[in-house]
A and B are shown apart, each in its own frame.
Chain A
Amino acid sequence: MPPSETPSAETPQGGAGQPQIVFDQVVKRFGDLTVLDHLDFSVEPGERVTLIGPSGSGKTTILRLLMTLEKVTEGRIDVAGEPFSHMRRGNHLVPASESYLRRRRRSIGMVFQQFNLFPNMTVRKNVIEAPVHVLGLSKGEANERAEELLDLVGLGDKIDAHPTQLSGGQQQRVAIARALAMRPDILLLDEVTSALDPELVAGVLDVLRQVAETTDITMLCVTHEMAFARDVSHRVLMFDKGQIAEEGPPEQIFEDPREDRTKSFLRSVLDNGF
């Protein structure tokens, strides 16, 4: 760390034990609506965190802030010990510029509820696009990576198909492969099975279980799939009105919730048959 650092630009100490993600008094407003209200939390490297909470509690907004699809209103986000929502200019922090964000967000991947595959490209092209044009891999290297990842998600035989020829579940597995092809340190998953027919959900969750078991990617996962959350995550954060209402290991949150808000939320999820 440069000696000229002022306290305002201080970041967690480098080296082992430093959190991967830190939200520091993050406020996010859309007009008059305060979605995140002085939110503080951190995520360790390799940790898998599930975000739950009622609709409108700000779960998606948290992921979108990390993916730089939204900007913080107040407070700051650090990633890998470096300012993320902000950048250093001289001795203080200023809101991150577009080019700074472009560089920093490379270590983060996101899978969307609606897949968002590029329909004008084959599955292969979808997966190699960013490795070739962002990471600078050769076509050969990128193709190798794509084939490997598509095998991992069980779609090796669909590599030359177009997204429109695939089922929703298959499209979502391609989207997972596409995100992983960038070798992200952090993977953001926003209700990735919510848009799927029930019979296709299991296939996508199996792929994610496998990713969780075989990699040390930090995962932030918004989901209503409680069994999956229990199997995969180290920690569950229960959100309500832009703040963390309760957090703990999945067994505790699901079996022995302490907060009334958590209890009633879990009850409503079960009633709705998620």
Chain B
Amino acid sequence: MIWDFEFTGRILPDLLGGLWVTVQLTVIGYLIALSLGLAVAVVRRVRVVGPIVHGVMEFIRTTPLLVQAVFVFALVPPEISAFTVGVVVLGVHYAAYTAEVYRSGIEGVAKGQWEAARALSLPVSRTWGAIVLPQAIRKVIPALGNYLIAMFKDTPLLFAITVVELLATAQRIGAAEFRYTETITLAGLLFLLVSIPSAILIRRLERRYAAV
């Protein structure tokens, strides 16, 4: 089989459309994972509520993303789009991972920092907001960055709930045109086009923050 450039040019816009969906899923899902994970990591230290939240997150972390997506999609009313379900499930699923990352960062903050804050009578909000979290987050930025790439690579799973991202687009074209060589190769290249620069960026962040 030889490479058909004319065909390639024809399907490229559709594939780029798919890539755009993938990027949106990843970025919005990541923002959910970053903020929800942080909230979970902090709430986990609260009495009674903490262990409950922890239990829920453990459950989410130990069941497959695919199962969660299909399950939630079946439950929600049909007005809610597959994209919305996909992005939320992806974000919440990864929040269970980022929460653990934040937790390790918080536990890594020296006990003396809490005690100094207490000795200065700082309110709880300042102790967390100005002292503990800035130090904790700085330390875990590289680990958080790795989850961005992991999420990007997990987006094709949302095919199962009809979210048409990059891989699903390629599948569709391939099936309709009976040409998989160009479509799947191109889809793979487009994945690389995003993931390689992201990985480089994350390595840079890692080096920058690891030094401190």
Whole-angstrom distance between the Cβ of A126 and the nearest chain B Cβ: 9
B115 to A69, Cβ gap below 8 A?
yes
The CA-CA distance from A129 to B120 in the complex, in Å, is: 9
B135 to A69, Cβ gap below 8 A?
no
CB neighbors of A among B148-198 (8 A)? none
A134 to B120, Cβ gap below 8 A?
yes
Q: Does A92 contact B (CB under 8 A)?
A: no
Which residues of chain B are near A179, meaning CB under 8 Å?
A: 119-120
Whole-angstrom distance between the Cβ of A179 and the nearest chain B Cβ: 8
The CA-CA distance from A56 to B59 in the complex, in Å, is: 45
User: Per a CB cutoff under 8 Å, which of B118, B123, B130, B131 touches A69?
Assistant: B118
Whole-angstrom distance between the Cβ of B103 and the nearest chain A Cβ: 19
Whole-angstrom distance between the Cβ of B114 and the nearest chain A Cβ: 9
A134 to B121, Cβ gap below 8 A?
yes
| Chain A residue nearest in CB terms to B135 | A120
A129 to B126, Cβ gap below 8 A?
yes
A129 to B135, Cβ gap below 8 A?
no
B120 to A112, Cβ gap below 8 A?
no
A133 to B118, Cβ gap below 8 A?
no
**Which of A4-12, A74-82, A102-110, A242-250 lies at the binding interface?**
A102-110
B134 to A120, Cβ gap below 8 A?
yes
Which residues of chain B are near A121, meaning CB under 8 Å?
A: 130-131
The CA-CA distance from A120 to B135 in the complex, in Å, is: 6
B119 to A67, Cβ gap below 8 A?
yes
Taking residues whose C-beta sits less than 8 angstroms from the other chain, chain A's interface range is 20 to 34
The CA-CA distance from A91 to B121 in the complex, in Å, is: 28
Q: Does B45 contact A (CB under 8 A)?
A: no
Whole-angstrom distance between the Cβ of A166 and the nearest chain B Cβ: 16
| Chain A residue nearest in CB terms to B129 | A133
Q: Does B113 contact A (CB under 8 A)?
A: yes
Q: Does A34 contact B (CB under 8 A)?
A: no
The CA-CA distance from A175 to B122 in the complex, in Å, is: 15
The SS class assigned to the A binding surface is loop
Q: Does A25 contact B (CB under 8 A)?
A: no
B121 to A118, Cβ gap below 8 A?
no
CB neighbors of A among B58-93 (8 A)? none
Which residues of chain A are near B135, meaning CB under 8 Å?
A: 118-120
A129 to B130, Cβ gap below 8 A?
yes
The CA-CA distance from A67 to B116 in the complex, in Å, is: 10
User: Per a CB cutoff under 8 Å, which of B116, B118, B120 touches A182?
Assistant: B120
| Chain B residue nearest in CB terms to A106 | B121
Q: Does B9 contact A (CB under 8 A)?
A: no
Instruction: Name, among A105, A109, A130, A178, the residue most crowded by chain B CB atoms within 10 Å (CB to CB).
Output: A130
B116 to A112, Cβ gap below 8 A?
yes
Whole-angstrom distance between the Cβ of A267 and the nearest chain B Cβ: 32
Whole-angstrom distance between the Cβ of A193 and the nearest chain B Cβ: 17
Whole-angstrom distance between the Cβ of B208 and the nearest chain A Cβ: 15
Question: Given that A102-B121, A130-B122 are known contacts, is A120 also in contact with B131, CB under 8 Å in the complex?
Answer: yes
B119 to A118, Cβ gap below 8 A?
no
Q: Does B138 contact A (CB under 8 A)?
A: yes
Question: Given that A129-B126, A129-B130, A133-B126 are known contacts, is A117 also in contact with B121, CB under 8 Å in the complex?
Answer: no
Which residues of chain B are near A69, meaning CB under 8 Å?
A: 115, 118-119
Whole-angstrom distance between the Cβ of A176 and the nearest chain B Cβ: 13
Q: Does A57 contact B (CB under 8 A)?
A: no
CB neighbors of A among B19-45 (8 A)? none
A116 to B121, Cβ gap below 8 A?
no
Q: List 19 A-B contacts (CB under 8 A).
A: A67-B115, A67-B119, A69-B115, A69-B119, A102-B121, A105-B119, A105-B121, A108-B119, A109-B119, A110-B119, A116-B110, A116-B115, A118-B131, A120-B138, A129-B130, A130-B122, A133-B123, A134-B122, A179-B120
Q: Which 3 A-B pairs have the closest CB atoms?
A: A116-B116, A130-B120, A116-B112
Given known contacts A106-B121, A118-B116, A120-B138, what 19 new A-B pairs fall within 8 Å (CB)?
A67-B115, A67-B118, A67-B119, A102-B121, A105-B118, A109-B120, A110-B119, A116-B112, A116-B113, A117-B116, A118-B113, A118-B131, A118-B135, A121-B131, A129-B120, A129-B126, A130-B122, A133-B126, A134-B121
- Chain B interface residues toward A at CB < 8 A: 110, 112-113, 115-116, 118-123, 126, 130-131, 134-135, 138
